[in-house]
Chains A and B, each alone.
Chain A
Amino acid sequence: MSGPDGGRPPRLPLGPSIEELDAEVARWVRPGQELRWFLRRFTGNPSLIAGVGILLAYLAVAVAAVVYFGSSLTNPPFRATWAEAIPPPGPSATHPFGIASGLGVDVFSEVVRAFPVDLGLTAVAIGIAGSVGVVLGAYAGVRGGWTDLGITFAADVEAGMPPFFFVIVLYLGTELLLPPVTRLYAFPVLFGAVLWPYYARPVRAVAQKVATEPFVESSKAAGGTRGHILLRHVIPNSLYPALAQVPVDLYSIFFVLTVFPYLSCSGPSFYGDLTPLPSPFFPEWGSLLAQGTCYGFSIVSPPGYWWMYAFPLAAIVGLGFGVTLACDGIDRWLSVRRRA
């Protein structure tokens, strides 16, 4: 059926448009009612509040670190002399998180300086993987045909490889090409390139179902464009499997950031080829945790120099906790919407 306006079905003369329907709804809703509904969805959703709260706190520390340390963010403000650092002093008034042996840095300032770095790394990696994956997955699900086949194939191929190894293969191939200072920026991009299928595949499956739902059909009938349908209806309603994926990806990212430095920390590639950090003094929780565990912990006589690993670990676990709660909360929030 082709109408004068380029292939869209002709508007039925008597039916109301979307805008008219919206205005109709607005007439029935009392002023302030929408805000109250909005707030009620929050108050009945403690995990969303807790998760968002934790993430906001992390963000606040990150911003404070950037403001306080400024351009010297990546230089350690304190280095112990060797004599001080072996054995490393534990938490004290001057060094509340103690001092790490080896690098001789103040753990507190390292953990704080790492906030913007780690938040940036994870946000960019998951941001790229999530946005590319959700958009491609939803588009494939709605569009079908060869587009669907192509996207699904690409996702299936990539997802067959263990993401930890895949990202390391990509990294080993590209790190030598890049100047050391740019490797840090390449890292989340590589992660994005590796992790997007984990969003695209489940989102596509849900989007396929959503695309046939009555409200999508009616939006189509009301003249909604493909972009409008995708953004307004399909993506919000097929987002929930992507939200379940975010904590898993956080796990994958910190797996790579901790396991490889840990395994190579006492090996021949001492400060290894397997970390994107331009220098061992560059603040990053994974590297701090790996080195702290490697040099500060002994299986035979725990807990060793516990402050070297406990604080970076707390920072990582805290971030994961916040993200998991926030994602579960958003999922619940969206599902209320879905039911509504």
Chain B
Amino acid sequence: MSGSGRPGRCGPGRIVLGALVVAAVTALLVPAGGGAATPPTAAIHAFAAARTSNGTYDSVGGWTTVGGSANRSGYTPLGGPLSSQTGNTYCPSQFPIQAGPVATGSLAYVADVLGNIYAINRTDLDNGGGNGTVVWTASVGGAPTTPDVSSGLLVIGDDVGAISTFGLTNGERDWSHSYAYGAIVDGVAAVDGTVYAGTDGGTVEAVSLDNGSIDWTRNLSGPVSGAVAIAGGQVFASTVGGELYALSATDGAVAWTRTMGGAVATGPAVYGDHVVLADNASAVAVWDTSNGTLLWRWNGSPAFPGDRIEASPGITGTTVFVQTHEANLYAFNASSGALLWNQSNVAFASGYPALSDPAATPTVVYVFDATEQLKAISLATGRVLWRASFDTASYGPVAVDSGEAMIADETGCLHVIGRAGSGISWPVTGTVTDTNGTPLAGVSIFTGLGTDTTNGSGEFAFPLPNGTYTLSFSLSGYVEAVLPLVVTGPVPPIAIVLAPLVLFPLSGTVVDSYSGHGVANVTVDLYGVDAFVAVVTSGPGGGFTARVPAGPVVLDAAPSASHAEGSRVFTMPAGPAAGVTVGVAPTNLAIPPTDPDDVYLLAPLALVGAVATGAWALGARSRRVSEGLTPGILSPFARYVLQRSLIVPAQMVVLLTILYIFGTFLPAAATDSPVCSFSAATACGYCSWSNFGCVTQAFGSGYWAFISNLFTGAWGTSSYGHLTEPSWTFLQWYLPDSLELAAVALTISGVSAYVLGLSAGWNRDRPVDTSVRAVSVVGLLFPSFLVVIVLFTAIYKPFVHAFGDTPFGILPNPPWFEAYDGRVPGWVGIAYNTSPTGFPVVDAALHGAWRATLIGATKTLLQALLISAIYVPLFLRYARHAVAQAAEEPHVVAARARGIPESTIRWRHTGRRVVPIFLLAFAATLPLYVGTQSLVEAMSSDPGVGTLLLSEITGYLATGFGFHAASGSLKPGNFYQVTIFLVVAVVLVASLASEVLSRYLDPRAGRGDRT
């Protein structure tokens, strides 16, 4: 299975990480192993034999699609690179490569997650790593899958179910059609003028390569699990449920179906009359293509229970090979199923699972595994012939074409290993010493083409082909040295001297992100500038000390027995620093048991409370009776308040239920996750949706866990950019800013709504009213995000001119601080949170930063005006009618008859009467207000709760609390659920308060109501 089916792997963090890897460091130049090389001529004979055996190869040659050709065998007779000595890197995109590579002739094709397709000239050997080698680019609308090359066209499907074709050499679009069958899975296959595609909607579709018209479609029992394979006039498709279908390529008629047993995450592969499929339980099965007879089946290695296969299996004429999730490579005899060899690399270097589809030539299998290495392994013996290391992860398949192996990575680069004729390599040699002349061993040398390290004598030697390079020499504890180097011939020896880094003491604590207690025995890796690395372990109480260079320091806490990993970035001053905390989330989210003895503490309190309430009620009743008021304990007003208040808890329960069902339970249902994973219903074990009893049990216990976690503050950790912090911390950082903004915005909105509403309502159908109505209509019609954009456009240049800062955010942005103050002041935190109060403008004033206060206040005012501009029209829509009615009420008419001046009537008689009405309108429109402020915050990059909420919803903020599609983890809740709950709770209580206040102030209710 290629990487195209996993868009979620390419999160923002990865992109950031990829961008941080400044030099696109690629192949590690390891001397080649003495592997047996097959002469190309033998390979071409094998190719001819393969063509006659099933006749489904395209005439183009090369590695044209997933698995090399439409039969998805992962096999090419054309031979791969013999060593990793030569190679090139092309970086056409800044985004992860999602589809490809495929290669034919001198071009290779890749597509990034945004749907941009790049045709790269592999004969261009400019080592700049730029995109000057891109011959053409085109784009598709959705996330692309691996294309196929056929009849001079590049055929590509995407995750919105569209198929598009482009000219191979010029990128001109031939046709593009959307089909309503679901996302194309893994890649299309174009054979003999027909394009075949499997979809996650559970269909296989065959469309004409000429014009995209549909030839036939076939519904399968479930979503298709991987690229469909075409061979011998048959289409082979597998479903995620583990069904294998053999369909007629001409009309889609089902020839036979077989069941794998477990869930399947890959597609089938065909060679000759063998079709192979592998499943999530690491089982591999081979059937006869003609009638579905099971030829052999392997049920996974007992040495690796729980291992699974997510990369497509491959098959040559003699061998079946599969790579498992844990980076084991197995080879079997294709006819008998006998295990030939096993190449194991379970020691995770990267933490990434092995997901790339391997590729094979007649003698070598090329595999990209979890160590981020491309390995060439002898097909006969399983011995590693050579390896090339990459500093980036790739989930895409390995492609092999005419002496080259290709892999595309998540930083947007295509790495090509082994193009013949990339020039003569010249030896580059030298020594690295420190300032005392002591040789330094283990210095990493980055060439842009690969990496090397110095030996024990501080010497290095590696070959470089002609080109321009920037060599960097780095060793932890030393200032990195950079050396520009142009290689056109023999290179004289190089002497490098590394100066030691100045280190400062840093002390900190590893803390549990839920309880705040220190966590001992956690390994913390500290990464600083100039490739600085230090490793420390937290002691009792979680404390640790280290010496680090000034500047940004990344603290990575490794997973421990009780806690998950944690990370933070700290800016080290040029001096000692203390109190740096690294939060780690506990892996066991169990609810702490409540002490059963608590009830004995609470019972007497409850008793005292009940007696006191009873005594007060009796007293109140007798007082009311003696004063001749309406009978009962409470006044009518108090009764109203009580009744109205009781709605709020009920509202909250309904709200929680909706948030749980729609935020947790249904997504679990939709992704077919084992629902029991968030339930305590262990008796059910793995329960599927068909087991109703277990599902109801899981619903109940999941609900309980959701509510418990929500109310005990067990909200887990969230990550935003490179920050991973307890979710509570994010709220602490962002809430004061929103409150500050709301205070200003509500004041402005309230005053302007009062004045405008009263004037408009009073002067009905006069110019004031008409213009207010016109403004309110325009405010409603104009999509509000555009209102924000228009205002920012209008003020951008004047603002920058006046303040030297952009109008985004609340406080001045870092460049302003740096230009004005030399650095961002210490009271501004990493997420632009401030201390001591958290209210940014208040804190700026408290620190006497008057220019920053002025800028902060101006930005707050601007945002508040924006919110008012959007919210007041909505508000007036509700309130204007009521004002007009109030203007005609008897006491107003009477006042006018008494000759009281018009302005007095307007502001004293009507104005007062209008306050309760406005309060009611405010209660009704408060949800709209909250939405408006969130929008304005998010669009102004204001670090507030609204930004937080919209970031969570739009997926920038990965949450540790709940179900998150990208991480595939399933927990009973989502951080956006917490935020929405808190926001709505505030809205409900504020609505309650406004309605009660409105009733209290309503002159019609009279004093009797309140006594």
Interface residues of A (CB under 8 A from B): 74-76, 79, 81-83, 102-104, 153, 156-157, 159-166, 168-170, 172-177, 179-181, 201, 244, 247-248, 250-252, 254-255, 258-260, 262-264, 267-274, 278-282, 286, 289-290, 293, 297, 299-300, 302, 313, 316-317, 320-321, 324
Contacts and interface: CB of A to CB of B under 8 A. Distances in A.
Given A179-B182, A270-B114, A299-B796, A159 B955 contact: no
Contacts of A156: 647, 651
B782 interface: yes
Interface stretch (B308-316, B356-364, B663-671): B663-671
Interface in B284-322: none
Interface string B152-191: 0000000011100000000111001110101100000000
A260 B784 CA distance: 12
Contacts of B796: 299-300
B663 A82 contact: no
Interface stretch (B65-73, B248-256, B980-988): B980-988
Contacts of B780: 247-248, 250-251, 320, 324
7 contacts: A157-B651, A247-B777, A247-B780, A247-B781, A264-B954, A270-B114, A299-B789
A196 to B, nearest CB: 14
Nearest to A316: B783
B113 A270 contact: yes
A161 to B, nearest CB: 5
A102 B934 CA distance: 28
A153 B954 contact: no
A317 B785 contact: no
- Label chain A's interface by main secondary structure: helix
A161 B987 contact: yes
Contact of B931 (A157, A164, A313): A164
A244 B874 CA distance: 11
Contact of B143 (A259, A271, A321): A271
A169 B949 contact: no
Nearest to B778: A317
A313 B183 contact: no
A119 B949 CA distance: 30
B137 interface: yes
Interface in B312-337: none
A165 B874 contact: no
B178 A278 contact: yes
A176 B671 contact: yes
B216 interface: no
B777 A321 contact: yes
Contact of A279 (B10, B162, B782, B977): B162
Given A173-B666, A270-B143, A162 B927 contact: yes
B949 to A, nearest CB: 7
Contacts of B12: 267-268
B931 A82 contact: no
Contacts of B114: 270
Contacts of B141: 103, 271, 279-281
Contacts of A267: 12, 954-956
B666 A248 contact: no
A160 B977 CA distance: 15
B987 A177 contact: no
B931 A163 contact: yes
A147 B303 CA distance: 65
Contacts of A302: 793
Chain B: interface size category: 35 or more
B916 to A, nearest CB: 14
A282 B662 CA distance: 26
B955 A180 contact: no
Contacts of A282: 178
B111 to A, nearest CB: 12
B601 interface: no
Given A163-B927, A173-B661, A324-B781, A271 B955 contact: no
A278 B180 contact: yes
A82 B136 contact: yes
Contacts of B884: none
B789 A297 contact: yes
Interface of B: 10-12, 15, 113-114, 136-139, 141-143, 160-162, 171-173, 176-178, 180, 182-183, 201, 647, 650-651, 654-655, 658-659, 661-663, 665-667, 669-671, 777, 780-786, 789, 792-793, 796, 874, 877-878, 881, 924, 927-928, 930-931, 934-935, 938-939, 949-950, 953-956, 965, 977, 980, 983-984, 987-988, 991
Given A81-B173, A82-B139, A160-B987, A177 B954 contact: no
A286 B783 CA distance: 9
Given A247-B777, A263-B950, A153 B666 contact: no
Kindly name the residue among A161, A174, A251 whose own CB sees the greatest number of chain B CB atoms within 10 A. Answer: A161
A301 B35 CA distance: 59
B785 to A, nearest CB: 5
Nearest to B953: A168
A161 B949 CA distance: 14
A248 B874 contact: yes
A82 B651 CA distance: 52
Contacts of A317: 781-782
A255 B178 contact: no
A81 B165 CA distance: 11
Nearest to B955: A269
B783 A75 contact: no
Nearest to A318: B781
B670 A177 contact: yes
Given A181-B180, A244-B881, A278-B178, A268 B171 contact: no
Contacts of B661: 173
Contact of A153 (B647, B670, B939): B647
B142 A255 contact: no
The 10 A-B residue pairs with the shortest CB-CB distance, nearest first, are: A173-B662, A176-B670, A320-B781, A279-B160, A162-B927, A280-B141, A173-B666, A264-B954, A162-B931, A269-B955
A272 B143 CA distance: 11
B984 A162 contact: yes
B178 A274 contact: no
A293 B666 contact: no
A103 B180 CA distance: 18
B984 A160 contact: yes
B781 A316 contact: yes
Nearest to B11: A268
B568 to A, nearest CB: 21
A176 B970 CA distance: 15
A74 B671 CA distance: 28
B663 to A, nearest CB: 6
Contacts of B793: 299, 302
A165 B980 contact: yes
B501 to A, nearest CB: 35
A289 B661 CA distance: 32
A2 to B, nearest CB: 34
Contact of B789 (A293, A316, A324): A293
Given A164-B931, A320-B781, A263 B987 contact: no
Contacts of A251: 780-781, 784, 874
Contacts of B11: 268
A160 B927 contact: yes
Given A164-B931, A270-B113, A260 B138 contact: no
Contact of A180 (B161, B934, B950, B983): B161
Given A75-B177, A157-B654, A320-B781, A279 B161 contact: yes
B658 A169 contact: yes
Contacts of A316: 781, 783
A272 B988 contact: no
Contacts of B138: 81-82
Contacts of B178: 74-75, 278-279, 281-282
Contact of A176 (B177, B647, B666, B781): B666
Contacts of A165: 931, 934, 949, 953, 980, 983
A138 to B, nearest CB: 19
B931 A104 contact: no
A271 B160 contact: yes
